Structure 1
Amino acid sequence: MKTIQQAKWHEPVVMELGVPGRRGIVFPRPETDTSALVPKGMRRTRKPALPELTEHDTLRHYLHLSQQVLGMMGVSLFGTCTMKYNPRLGEALGLRPQMAEMHPLQPEETMQGLLEIVHNFDLILRELSGMDGFTFQAAGGADAAYTHACVTRGWLAAKGELEQRNEIITSIQAHPCNPATAATAGFKVVTLMLEENGYPSIEALKAALSNRTAALMINNPDDMGVYNPQIAEWVALVKQAGGLAFYDHANFNGVMGRIRARELGFDACMFMLHKTFGGPKGGGGPAVGAYGCSAELLPFLPKPVVVKQDGRYRLDHDRAQSVGKVREFLGNLHIVMRAYLWSRGMGADGIREAADLAVLANNYMEKKLLAIPGVARSNPAGKAWRMEMTRYGLGPLKEETGIGVVEVGNRMTDYGIDAPWLSHEPWVVPEPFTPEAGELWSKEDIDLWCDVLAKVCEEARTNPDLVRTAPHHAPIGRVDSEAPEDPARWATTWRAHLRKRAARLSQAAE
């Protein structure tokens, strides 16, 4: 098994580079004096403190940085985030001026192509969910969950029940954005615990329901890969109690084309376009949480909403019951464009096949992982097949060797494997990790991932210090995890860095 040596440059930050007088480009002087357009109070009294570099110096600097960052482009089975390939065609279209230079305040008649994409993708998600309409304003999954909390608040206010119905039910294994956004919107949170089958019981749900129930916010399957087969009964009970049911579809990848939220009785759901639908995630983002709902809740959607009228597309701002905005303008529509491209490219059959491959890959991977000494599976008593990811734990390995999952993950990077995703808080499983193969990764990739984990677990027994001090082949060994928690040390601007460094040096001199 080969180790990976990542590029390592002793590269200063760009503010420490440059020589006065060097230029990458020389701009011509303006033909007319435009200084009067800048208010006196905003005019500079001295030149900006920027590095002066040639084009070659600049290119080399950022090439070095990219080599260090992209040196770790290995196998990334990043659970709950469905790290799948982002088609280059989508990236190319996103950079075209017709997309990249679009302004949200330009006239509607100049945005007909983009608005058509938004409208058509709305129709695609309606088909996948059974819902009656979508908004793409939410900037990610947590924002979509918050959108539902706001819609719930608006719906209850219209019924005159907002003061009475102030509780939202979720589970300990739901994504933290569900209880967090519910609390942010002013609701009390009722959290159900997991039981023997890996999900809360019907009896626990019934005990939590009352005339105070506003909504259920739940993901299914959860991050442990467990699908609650009683979910339709859950939804029926919540609605009988007078509440709404929200389906957090962050883990949609394993059930795409197989279930529809509305047919299970849900009033609303959300999809992660930056994950499930082929849009870039993280530094390549930003994100979109597509929020869809039933016809009853449509009047409360954030405005504006894209509608088609007389063969043209327009932005509907005239929505008296709208909850307003959860994000400025229309949201990150360049991600909607990428998701639309992915969906059209896959087609209905391709989406169903991708879900099948994700479930198959996950269960193939489980057989290999559970053969590794020191690896445990969440909810081991459950016999049902897991979905497109499963949460495992290195608790047994930690007890035996003292080496935990963070140290194992660091060491895996030395073999070209991205450090695995662990778990949302709280850690229900000791020393958790949550790999997700999805439909992207090949059998060879999955085999390599499992073989590397087995190798590192073996090293934890035979040479624990090697694992404890990893990584050994990365540009940076161990990041000082305390620095970001110390306001006196971290800085988001060069000016703040200089100020704080001077203060530390002055303090040390005293």
Structure 2
Amino acid sequence: MSLNIHYKEDFKDRHIAPDLADTDAMLSTLGLGSVDELIDQTVPAKIRLKKPLNLPAAKSEKDYLSSLKQAASLNKVFKSYIGQGYYDTITPGVILRNVMENPGWYTQYTPYQAEVAQGRLQALLNFQTMVIDLTGMEIANASLLDEGTAAAEAMFMQFSLRKNQDARKFFVSELIFPQTMDILKTRANPFGIELVTGDHRTFTPTADYFGAIVQYPAGNGEVFDYTAFATQAHDAQVKLTVIADLLSLTLLTPPGEWGADIVVGTTQRFGVSIGFGGPHAAFFATKEEYKRSIPGRIIGVTIDSANNYALRMALQTREQHIRRDKATSNICTAQALLAIMAGFYAVYHGPKGLKLIAERTHGLAVALSDSLTQIGYSQLNKVYFDTIQVELGDLKDSIHKECIDNEINLYYKGTVAYISLDETTSLEDIKLLNKIFSKVKGIAADSVELASEEHIETVIPAALQRQSAYLTHPVFNSHHSEHEMLRYIKSLEAKDLSLCHSMIALGSCTMKLNATTEMIPVTWAEFSKIHPFAPADQVAGYYSVFNELDRWLSEITGFAAMSLQPNSGAQGEYAGLMVIRAYHQDRGDFQRNIALIPSSAHGTNPASAAMAGMKIVIVKCDAQGNIDVEDLKAKAEQHKDNLSCFMVTYPSTHGVFEESIVEICEVIHANGGQVYMDGANMNAQVGLTSPANIGADVCHLNLHKTFCIPHGGGGPGMGPIGVAAHLVKYLPGHAVVDINKGKSIPAVSSAPWGSASILIISHAYIAMMGGEGLKEATRYAILNANYIKARLEQHYPVLYSGSNGRCGHEMILDCREFKNYGIEVVDIAKRLMDYGFHAPTVSFPVAGTLMVEPTESEPKHELDRFCDALIAIRSEISAIEQGQLDRIDNPLKNAPHTAAVVTGDEWSHGYSRQVAAFPLPYVAAHKFWPSVGRVNDSFGDRSLVCACPPIESYMEEDAAI
């Protein structure tokens, strides 16, 4: 036997699940001889790429990690005192290992199917409770993208709620962080909102203002008493938003107690690494009267079918998928995983622990201020929490050099140094800073007396010191030992179905493998501990990753350049449309504000267009689900003088490669518009075609779909945009870090490269797959989808398909006829839980349907398990149709069946417990028990509770209604 000494593992064979035997069997079912034959029947020839992707050869997992370690070593992990909204923190090991690094938490989908998401929903409810308690507000959402965009959402909510429709001015404190100001500019521009910047101490609100925003503590570290300002604002009918530091609110009077209408901020310093800017969960808290206008998701308390405590996403009628261009925001993916971590951080430390962390941070800031004053420096802040301002004068350059020599970064503004302390700061760090500042002055460091712990007094005046209790719920006072915390985390994880259990065949959402090797580098200190405003010469490793990812994604899309800044898919949509808007206006075409959008589009498309100040005109689809080209031509011609863009998803949201796509793009261009391609279905394009090859000008990429960043239970995501050459100079810039092109729009995210640390995941995926591997992934996504279609179309009508009867990477199963037997599509979704599966996408893009997408990461036997489940459910529907099962009392209407119900003493149903819980043989060996029965949505919306309450009082209240 000869031995192969040149063998090297191929990552694509780990990522793409079907082997040769699976492939042959699936092709046989389809009546085909090769995957090439299937692709020829599915993807129109005229849009196919003529040559392979020009990407580096695929690396093995070992080689990739080795090469990335070399790049990581180019990053210099200095001690950061930069602050400005980003602080070093300690992620408790029990949270790092069991949440952030645990696929049982990071591979979950957004909790639309509440019955198999109770653990995550409870963790997010904890987050909301934490935010409500610390801010002193009445209601909070389950996270937003980052602090800057949360502030922009607050401004827009105030604008939408204004009673005086002529009021278009918004006061912005001159002491908010510059990156937040940048995002406010971006969001204000399309609506003609006038930002008025100034000093809140000398500004008087008037009736032509609809809102105001201040920072607490301010961007320079000073803590102001805003009580009088809040009163003035309210007297003038002006709403007040406060950007607050959550940790400081354990010591400072919360904004809700002195007049804030909205409080926003970031929870980054609650155990979530800096990560060169993200991802981090922002928070948004407000008054209950604004609950239907609050952006993002709200987790609410309700009951299940057995009247037990249950949770779900509340008030979903606010969602952009329903409200479309009338939505209050375009938020789709937020930051659930990071919100969960921050909530667990508060659970682990409790109110006493958080206060001790805050007191230590504040105490060290006081000690540093006192010692620097002794040395002879002027410290400018009178009242502060963690940040002091030190006037350096002509010593600035010397201080800067000494700090760099000691691997320390401060934040400089003119001749003033801002020094922000955090949870990781120690007394030894303070001594080193004293040594540096003393040396520059020529003073012996040991001559400076540091105050002892007993003699450090707060500089926060009594009027601003918090008196109210917070985090009093038992969940924040019960899990402080690691053993108890571990058990609590695991108890919640066990209630959630994730990719660890079974495939999640969500159409449009692409729940594919998130390989462990792709995830490992995210927590390396060289990537996780870097401040986004660190000097460029300290982040060469990050730059090398960004530059490669830019080149690779540009090659994949066919575009000239990318912006990696947008930190969600919807944010990418918005950024792309703002780039198109800037292009038209730069050419003098200010009137071009019409966005043509097909009726089949994602709900975020019209919402994003509305946010970009565009007017939406809907283009019809024909009976086959394709864009009606004649209607498109008519509307493009009708609006040719004002046409800004056409938004299109390709393959379509109906799962079809529309053959008219090139003609569609030509029509738009002929009428002066730009083509915006929604990249939600890019995983059916990679290596076979590309947005630029088709004719698009802009495309956002959902890296949390096509390029393997995990969904994280509802975030994080990333939505970078690629653009054609004529649009490159308009890509988003940044106020702090110079990434500006010739005519960049202002920033759309707080950090220059958005959620930078998770870009590494997509970098790893592309590097290990290589061009050929990426193409194979696309081909197998299409093969797996068509195999499912072939197995199911005898049982469920497939709503749309291409001219050869093939679907793309997803398909729509029409369930509307089952209404004749009393069965709704939601009943099928809930019954799938009894078979161990998360439902496909329900009632989108067509009401009463299921949109199914298997991805290339699923082997044939898993596809068969899923198909067997749906076929069995169809048999149950037939039994109802034939009168063998009751129309009301049947397994679908009663689904899901919990262990408590199935094992209870009473069983009064007209079907067996076996049918309820173990409907197919495989289920017994792999049973996932939903932890609650079907949730009651209307109960929760009638009595909205979005914090951690005892449910009994609300059940009693409902009974009395």
Which of residues 894, 910, 922 is equivalent to 1:469?
894
Q: Is the 8 A contact 1:394 1:432 kept in 2?
A: yes
The answer on 1:255 being equivalent to 2:685 is yes
1:332 corresponds, among 755, 758, 761, to 755
Work out whether residues 785 and 807 of structure 2, in 8 Å CA contact, stay in contact via their aligned partners in 1.
yes
Partners of 1:39 and 1:298 lie apart in 2 by 51
Following superposition, the deviation at residue 237 of structure 1 comes to: 1.6
Question: Does the Cα contact within 8 Å between 1:218 and 1:248 map onto a contact in 2?
Answer: yes
Match of 1:75 in 2: 503
Task: Map 1:386-397; keep pairs closer than 5 Å.
Answer: 386-397=807-818
Paired with 1:6 and 1:362, the residues of 2 have a C-alpha distance of: 24
Partner of 2:214: none
Structure 1 residue 424: Cα displacement: 3.0
Which secondary structure does the structure 1 equivalent of 2:811 belong to?
coil
Q: Which has the larger radius of gyration?
A: 2
Matched, 1:223 2:644: no
8 Å CA contact 1:141–1:289 kept in 2: the answer is yes
CA distance in 2, matches of 1:418, 1:382: 31
For the 8 Å contact 1:192–1:205, the answer to whether it is kept is yes
The one-letter amino acid paired with 1:471 is: P
Which residues in structure 2 correspond to 1:246-285 (within 5 Å)?
246-283=676-713, 285=715
2:866 partner amino acid: W
- Kindly tell me: are residues 509 and 93 of structure 1, through their superposed partners in 2, closer, same or farther at Cα, counting changes over 3 Å? same
Q: Corresponding residue for 1:138?
A: 566
Report the counterpart of residue 477 of structure 2 in structure 1.
Answer: 51
Return the alpha-carbon distance in structure 1 between the equivalents of residues 714 and 609 of structure 2. 28
Q: How far apart, in 2, do the equivalents of 1:138 and 1:102 lie?
A: 19
Residues 117-149 of structure 1: CA deviation (Å, up to 9, x unaligned) = 111100001101111111121122211111122
Give the Cα separation in 1 of the matches to 2:712 and 2:797.
Answer: 29
Residue of structure 1 equivalent to 2:534: 106
Query: 2:833 — aligned with what?
Result: 413
Partner residue in 2 for 1:311: none
**C-alpha distance in 1 between matches for 2:785 and 2:117:** 32
CA deviation vs aligned residue, 1:470-497 (integer Å, no higher than 9, x gap): 10031011112124534x4222x44xx4
Where in structure 2 are there 5+ consecutive unaligned residues?
1-114, 130-346, 364-451, 880-884, 899-929
Fraction of identical pairs, as percent = 26
Distance 1:157 1:228, change over 3 A: same
SS of residue in 1 equivalent to 2:675: strand
Q: Aligned residue for 1:203?
A: 630
Distance 1:200 1:335, change over 3 A: same
Distance in structure 2 (CA, Å) of the matches to 1:335 and 1:468: 41
SS at 1:170 equivalent: strand
SS in 1 for 2:512: coil
**Contact 2:503/2:854 (8 A) holds in 1:** no
Measured in 1, the distance between the counterparts of 2:351 and 2:808 equals 60
Whether the 8 Å CA contact 1:274–1:335 is kept in 2: the answer is no
Q: Output the CA distance in 1 between the equivalents of 2:823 and 2:956.
A: 37
Alignment check: 8 A CA contact 1:22 1:52 kept:
no
Q: Residue 96 in 1 paired to residue 524 in 2?
A: yes
Residue aligning to 1:364: 787
Residues 556, 687 of structure 2: 8 Å contact kept: yes
One-letter identity of the residue aligned with 2:862: D
- Cα distance between partner residues in 1 of 2:958 and 2:811: 50
Distance 1:6 1:283 in 2: 12
- 1:420 is displaced (CA, Å) by 1.8
Q: Deviations over 1:367-424 (max 9, x none)?
A: 111122xx1111379544211001111122232x211211111111111111221243
AA at the equivalent of 1:186: G
SS in 1 for 2:526: helix
Residues 15-34 of structure 1 deviation map (CA, whole Å, 9 limit, x = unaligned):
9x99x99999x999985255
Task: State the match for 1:485 in structure 2.
Answer: 941
Q: Is the 8 A contact 1:76 1:420 kept in 2?
A: yes
1:437 and 2:857 matched: no
**Structure 2 Cα separation of the partners of residues 190 and 368 of structure 1:** 38
Match of 1:378 in 2: 799
TM-score, normalised relative to structure 2: 0.47
Between stretches 64-73 and 294-303, larger displacement belongs to 64-73
| Contact 2:577 2:676 (8 Å CA) reproduced | no
Cα deviation 1:304-342 (Å, max 9, x = unaligned):
49xxxxxxxx95344462210111112111221100001
Output the CA distance in 2 between the equivalents of 1:38 and 1:502. Answer: 39
- What residue ranges of structure 1 are gaps of 5+ in the alignment? 306-313
CA RMSD of aligned residues (A): 3.4
Contact 1:196–1:382 (8 Å) recurs in 2: no
Would you say 1:453 and 2:870 are equivalent positions?
yes
Aligned to 1:149: 577
Q: Which amino acid aligns with 2:895?
A: A
Q: Distance in 2 between matches of 1:166 and 1:46?
A: 50
Contact 1:22 1:53 in 2 (8 A): no
Give the direction of change, closer, same or farther, for the CA distance of 1:362–1:176 in structure 2 (3 Å limit). same
Indicate how the Cα distance of structure 1 residues 216 and 507 shifts in structure 2: closer, same or farther if over 3 A, else same: closer
Cα distance in 2 for partners of 1:197, 1:420 equals 21
Once residues 509 and 431 of structure 1 are traced to their aligned partners in structure 2, the CA distance between those partners, rounded to angstroms, is 34
**Equivalent position of 1:178 in the other structure:** 605
Q: How far apart, CA to CA, are the structure 2 residues paired with 1:144 and 1:318?
A: 17
Corresponding pairs, count: 482
CA-to-aligned-CA distance 1:177-234 (integer Å, 9 cap, x gap): 2222112211111111111443123322210112221111101111221111121121
* Per-residue deviation, residues 428-450 of structure 1 (Å, max 9, x unmatched): xx521011111011110111101
SS in 2 for 1:361: helix
| Secondary structure class of the residue paired with 1:468 | coil
Q: Look up the SS of the partner of 1:203 in the other structure.
A: helix
Distance in 2 (alpha carbons) for counterparts of 1:201 and 1:22: 62
Contact 1:410–1:419 at 8 Å: present in 2 too? yes
